[in-house]
């Protein structure tokens, strides 16, 4: 992908090594580090992650500023082919619909340009805000993966597997009296 992907409020573009300082700073925020963790040297960790060849990494920009990262990988076995995604956002932009916009934009790209029919995401089962965001885009819970991921303190916590089929993607968000409501595609 050479051209940026344009959402309603975000732009997704390929991450470069020039993005490492901004992404490491976002990853260092306690609200992000809680879920994404990392060693003592986040600059080195983000640098290593950006160099991984099997995952597409896109910087999320809003109003010309780096506000997060969304990444994806593909299962290529034709009998199980699908894409998986993951995302983190700067807490300063939480609650504005930018996460849902980024996910919707990448999902549309994976469905339309890469021919995927299904996308998965697997947040911690206790990450209610992330799960609400994913459900706004059309993701549905598949099941709890028990003791799925090791926490910072060494204990295990559950993950929630969600998936999204191409025809379930919501295309737009409409403001309502009580907030935002995802609407199915037309």
Within 8 A by CB and 6+ apart from 101, the residues are 7, 8, 9, 10, 173
pLDDT for residue 170: 86
The tens digit of pLDDT for each residue in 134-173 reads: 999 999 999 999 999 988 888 999 999 999 999 999 875 4
Q: Which two tokens stand for residue 154?
A: 């060494």
pTM above 0.75, yes or no: yes
The answer to whether 58 and 14 are in contact (CB under 8 A) is yes
d(CA 179, CA 95): 10
Give me the residues of the chain with pLDDT under 50, please.
173-186
pLDDT for residue 151: 84
pLDDT for residue 154: 87
DSSP 35: H
- Taking 3-state DSSP, the helix, strand and coil percentages for the chain, each rounded to the nearest 5, stand at 30, 40, 30
pLDDT for residue 177: 36
What separation in angstroms does the CA of 133 have from each of 51, 53, 90?
A: 28, 28, 15
Dihedral angle, C-alpha 107, 112, 114, 120, nearest 10 °: 30
pLDDT for residue 1: 62
Question: Beta 118-121 vs 170-176: how paired, if at all?
Answer: unpaired
């Amino acid at each position: 992908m050479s051209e940026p992907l344009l959402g309603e409020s975000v732009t997704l573009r390929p991450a470069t090594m020039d993005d490492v300082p901004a992404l490491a700073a976002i990853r260092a925020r306690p609200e992000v580090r809680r879920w994404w963790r990392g060693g003592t040297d986040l600059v080195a960790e983000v640098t290593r992650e950006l160099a991984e060849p099997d995952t597409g990494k896109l910087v999320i920009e809003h109003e010309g500023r780096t506000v997060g990262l969304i990444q994806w990988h593909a299962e290529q076995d034709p009998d199980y082919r699908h894409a998986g995604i993951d995302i983190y956002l700067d807490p300063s932009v939480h609650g504005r619909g930018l996460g849902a916009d980024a996910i919707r934009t990448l999902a549309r790209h994976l469905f339309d340009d890469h021919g995927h029919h299904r996308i998965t995401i697997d947040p911690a089962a206790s990450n209610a805000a992330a799960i609400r965001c994913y459900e706004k885009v059309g993701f549905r819970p598949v099941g709890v993966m028990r003791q799925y991921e090791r926490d910072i303190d060494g204990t295990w916590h559950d993950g929630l597997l969600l998936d999204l089929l191409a025809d379930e993607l919501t295309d737009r968000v409409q403001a309502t009296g009580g907030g935002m409501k995802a609407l199915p595609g037309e």
